[in-house]
């Protein structure tokens, strides 16, 4: 199945444009004394960086698969991606729920990320706490698994990560279970894994099988959330026999971050199970399919409407997407591709149940499987993604071409002015023009003081506004809200199987398992991590926006240009305003805004090592709130100091620009006039050489 095909046309166009730039630079090198090639070389470098980043980062179609344990995620991916082969092991308990990403590579390998030392120490500490809460129970299980395998955890976690190459695809499949499988030797130490597979249909796709956002291990939950925010499409799997129950609703609507997700698809998995529950009371398979879907769709609509009604901050547009439910059965699809003699014992039982009315054909099995509906969604998302990327890729060359055209026109104008000066003036006249303009430039400093004085005032005004916004963010992100969860408890009871008419059964009994749900309220440690990250990102945006509001570079350039040109005496014969304007523009092109970067990784790791999963204990809730408030407050202080420092540095750079502007402009003008003065030594030859250069500039093909 080819889901997403990267067109090579754009890449060919990019390479062609770079080739033209290279030839252009080579053509103009003999004239490097007369024209500055630095700008063209900088344009080339910038173009390569942008286009390489586009193909490296932007081209992947990011797809997330989410659902509770036993929702059928691994079976779904094995069916969808690997034709039913059990490549991805099933993780049937939270302790082995590893985030596994699947991507294409010509080399079969697995890239493992182990827990960090801080995360492992937190797991060991939680394992010592005698509590049945999820994070403590899972911690005990993980630590016990490591002991059972006689592993020294620090032999692995000290590596941080490692990449293991496999000589064949089959060998990788054999070994994968050791790292992400239920009984894998290294599974308890693995936080996440990237599976690189030499399968062409996976090119340009990044698919992740998530452990679920209710994972008791905070670091795994946080990593899942970060990935989902980059997803183009998310498939949420909920099994038919407990379709969109309270646990699913809480997982989906309360914990799924919707930022960046363009499409959210609700998949009713293991549809064959739901169908088998209905089939016994229906007259046909077709009627059972129709009635089962109607019942599940009605339940989904009621559940989602109820949620929207009770949650004022619900993402309505995202939730409404969930009403278009896709019903699938990975097992039925796989059975349709096999002969009955190849069925497993479980598949044979499913076949006999579904064939109660003797109507089951391979076509019916494919219909129940319905994997083609998922493939259609993949294609639709891929097509839209392709359209966006095509539009984006279509701007690279035209924008660069236009920028190059302007640079070449600027070169041409300067050369034409030089020819004109050589034809109409002599050495003495050029020297007089140079001196006259230098004298006039020295008279405009008062006007520059006025322009930059207004700029300093704007800096202080916007700095005050930004600090108010930072304080507001400080208060907002210091808070963390409780969530409502539902815990399913399993109990067993003894039930008599005695029949009065069958004496041999007297006294016999069986044990039955039943379940019940219990509500509880908790704080999610991953929400605290997300608050920290969002606070820092919003703060960085706030600071950069402040500088953008303070200084519109284009507007400032226009102001300075107008001030200088207006103050130069254009009535004198020795002054050529258009010539001077070209030189002024060259000087102004050096003004740039600062870029603010704030690293938060260390703070997030510190908090993640202290708290994990769902916090239900009152004391621990209070502790998490206190730590979060303290961390955000500390970050606010650091960011405020950084901001003050950036403002001071920015003002200093502006002051340097103001002080150096006249000197730099005068330097550029002197350099230009000196070049022209030198050309008078061999004036006629230089004029002919300049004409050749103009001809070469005009012949450059930019199409």
CA distance 244 to 251: 10
Q: pTM for the complete prediction? A: 0.56
**Residues 6+ away with beta carbon under 8 Å from 368:** 271, 272, 275, 289, 329, 332, 333, 354
Q: What is the DSSP letter of 164?
A: E
Supply the pLDDT for residue 2.
Answer: 40
Which is it for strands 109-114 and 190-197: parallel, antiparallel or unpaired? Answer: antiparallel
Mean pLDDT value of segment 300-310: 80
CA distance 582 to 410: 7
- Domain boundary assignment for the chain: 72-217, 425-480+524-699, 484-520
**Residues 6+ away with beta carbon under 8 Å from 35:** 28, 411, 414, 415, 693
Helix (H) or strand (E) holding 17, with range, is helix 9-28
Mean pLDDT value of segment 326-335: 92
- 3-state SS assignment for residue 238: strand
Q: Which of the residue ranges 85-99, 195-209, 414-428, 452-466 would you say has the lowest mean pLDDT?
A: 85-99
**Residues 6+ away with beta carbon under 8 Å from 38:** none
pLDDT in tens, 534-571: 888 788 878 877 777 766 656 666 676 677 666 665 44
Supply the pLDDT for residue 138.
Answer: 78
Higher pLDDT, 300 or 135: 300
Q: Which of the residue ranges 399-413, 422-436, 464-478 would you say has the lowest mean pLDDT?
A: 422-436
Q: Which of the residue ranges 13-27, 190-204, 344-358, 423-437 would you say has the lowest mean pLDDT?
A: 423-437
Supply the pLDDT for residue 224.
Answer: 66
The C-alpha angle 299, 300, 301, rounded to 5 degrees, equals 90
Long-range contacts from 501-510, C-beta under 8 angstroms, 24+ separation: none
Contact 153, 146 (CB under 8 A): yes
For residue 7, the tally of other CB atoms under 10 A from its CB is 12
Helix (H) or strand (E) holding 255, with range, is helix 255-255
Sheet holding 233-239, edge to edge: 161-165, 109-114, 190-197, 99-104, 205-209, 61-67, 233-239, 263-269, 326-327
For the chain, the helix, strand and coil percentages under 3-state DSSP, each to the nearest 5: 65, 10, 25
Contact 616, 522 (CB under 8 A): yes
CA distance 483 to 255: 9
The pLDDT of residue 254 is above 60? no
pLDDT in tens, 117-132: 888 888 888 888 887 7
pLDDT in tens, 338-349: 898 888 888 899
Tokens 């002599």, located at residue:
426
Helix (H) or strand (E) holding 102, with range, is strand 99-104
- pLDDT over 90, % of the chain: 8
Contact 194, 101 (CB under 8 A): yes
Q: Which two tokens stand for residue 307?
A: 């949620």
Long-range contacts from 317-325, C-beta under 8 angstroms, 24+ separation: 318/258, 318/261, 318/264, 319/253, 321/263, 321/264, 321/265, 321/266, 322/236, 322/252, 322/264, 322/265, 322/266, 323/266, 323/297, 324/265, 324/266, 325/266, 325/267, 325/268, 325/293, 325/296, 325/297, 325/300
pLDDT in tens, 361-403: 999 999 999 999 988 887 777 677 667 566 666 777 888 888 8
Q: How far is CA 69 from CA 137, 248, 419, in A?
A: 16, 11, 78
Higher pLDDT, 578 or 140: 140
CA distance 580 to 434: 11
Which is it for strands 614-615 and 509-524: parallel, antiparallel or unpaired? Answer: antiparallel
Mean pLDDT value of segment 6-30: 82
Supply the pLDDT for residue 293.
Answer: 93
Helix (H) or strand (E) holding 220, with range, is helix 218-228
Helix (H) or strand (E) holding 579, with range, is helix 577-588
Q: Which two tokens stand for residue 209?
A: 């099988």
Supply the pLDDT for residue 589.
Answer: 59
Strand runs labelled E in 167-320 = 190-197, 205-209, 233-239, 263-269
Supply the pLDDT for residue 569.
Answer: 53
Which is it for strands 326-327 and 99-104: parallel, antiparallel or unpaired? Answer: unpaired
Banded model confidence at residue 5, pLDDT cuts 50, 70, 90: very low
The pLDDT of residue 572 is above 60? no
- 3-state SS assignment for residue 104: strand
pLDDT in tens, 62-76: 788 887 767 778 788
**Residues 6+ away with beta carbon under 8 Å from 548:** 593
Q: Which two tokens stand for residue 531?
A: 């608050």
In degrees and rounded to multiples of 5, residue 537 shows phi and psi of -65, -45
């Amino acid at each position: 199945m080819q889901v997403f095909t990267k067109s090579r046309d754009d890449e060919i166009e990019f390479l062609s444009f770079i080739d033209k730039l290279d030839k252009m630079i080579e053509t103009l090198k003999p004239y490097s004394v007369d024209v500055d090639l630095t700008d063209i070389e900088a344009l080339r470098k910038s173009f390569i960086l942008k286009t390489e980043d586009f193909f490296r980062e932007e081209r992947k179609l990011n797809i997330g698969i989410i659902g509770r344990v036993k929702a059928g995620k691994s079976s779904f991916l094995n069916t969808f991606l690997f034709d039913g082969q059990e490549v991805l092991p099933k993780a049937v308990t939270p302790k082995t729920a590893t985030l596994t990403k699947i991507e294409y590579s010509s080399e079969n390998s697995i890239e493992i990320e182990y827990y960090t030392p801080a995360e492992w120490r937190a797991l060991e500490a939680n394992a010592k706490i005698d509590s049945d809460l999820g994070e403590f129970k899972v911690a005990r299980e993980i630590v016990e698994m490591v002991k059972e395998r006689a592993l020294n955890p620090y032999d692995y976690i000290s590596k941080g990560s490692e990449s293991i190459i496999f000589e064949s695809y089959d060998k990788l499949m054999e070994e994968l279970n050791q790292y992400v499988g239920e009984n894998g030797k290294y599974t308890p130490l693995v936080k996440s894994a990237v599976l690189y597979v030499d399968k062409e249909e996976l090119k340009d796709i990044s698919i992740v099988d998530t452990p679920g956002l209710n994972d008791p291990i905070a670091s795994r939950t946080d990593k899942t959330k970060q990935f989902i925010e980059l997803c183009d499409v998310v498939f949420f799997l909920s099994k038919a026999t407990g379709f969109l129950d309270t646990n699913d609703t809480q997982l989906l609507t309360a914990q799924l971050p919707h930022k960046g997700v363009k499409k959210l698809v609700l998949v009713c998995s293991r549809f064959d199970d739901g169908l088998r529950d209905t089939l016994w009371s229906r007259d046909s398979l077709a009627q059972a399919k129709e009635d089962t879907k109607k019942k599940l769709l009605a339940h989904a609509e009621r559940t989602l409407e109820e949620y929207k009604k009770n949650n004022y901050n619900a993402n309505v547009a995202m939730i409404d997407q969930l009403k278009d439910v896709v019903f699938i059965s990975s097992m039925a699809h796989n059975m349709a591709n096999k002969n009955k003699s190849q069925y497993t014992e479980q598949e044979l039982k499913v076949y006999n149940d579904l064939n109660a009315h003797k109507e089951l054909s391979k076509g019916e099995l494919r219909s129940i499987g319905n994997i083609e509906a998922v493939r259609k969604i993949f294609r639709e998302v891929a097509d839209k993604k392709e359209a966006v990327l095509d539009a984006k890729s279509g701007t690279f060359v035209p924008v660069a071409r236009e920028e190059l055209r302007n640079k070449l026109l600027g070169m041409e104008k300067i050369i034409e002015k030089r020819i004109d000066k050589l034809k109409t003036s002599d050495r003495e006249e050029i020297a007089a023009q140079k001196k006259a303009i230098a004298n006039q430039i020295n008279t405009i400093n008062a006007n520059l003081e006025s322009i930059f004085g207004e700029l300093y005032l704007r800096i202080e005004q916007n700095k005050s506004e930004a600090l108010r916004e930072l304080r507001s963010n400080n208060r907002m992100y210091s808070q963390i809200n409780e969530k409502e969860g539902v815990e399913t408890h399993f109990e067993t009871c003894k039930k008599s199987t005695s029949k009065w008419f069958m004496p041999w059964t007297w006294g016999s009994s069986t044990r039955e398992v039943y379940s019940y749900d219990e509500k509880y309220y908790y704080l999610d440690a991953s929400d605290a991590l997300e608050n920290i990250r969002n606070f820092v990102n919003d703060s960085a945006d706030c600071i950069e926006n402040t500088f953008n509001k303070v200084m519109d570079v284009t507007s400032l350039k226009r102001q300075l240009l107008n001030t200088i040109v207006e103050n130069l005496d254009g009535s004198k014969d020795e002054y050529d305003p258009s010539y001077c304007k070209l030189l002024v523009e060259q000087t102004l092109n050096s003004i740039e805004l600062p870029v603010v970067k704030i690293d938060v990784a260390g703070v997030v790791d510190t908090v993640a090592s202290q708290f994990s999963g769902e916090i239900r204990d009152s004391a621990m809730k209070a502790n998490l709130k206190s730590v979060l408030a303290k961390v955000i407050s500390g970050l606010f202080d650091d960011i405020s100091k950084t901001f003050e420092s950036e403002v001071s540095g920015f003002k200093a750079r502006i002051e340097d620009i103001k002080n150096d502007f006249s000197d730099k402009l005068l330097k550029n003008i002197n350099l230009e006039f000196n070049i022209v003065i030198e050309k008078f030594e061999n004036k006629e030859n230089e004029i002919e050489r300049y004409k050749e250069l103009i001809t070469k500039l005009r012949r450059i093909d930019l199409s």
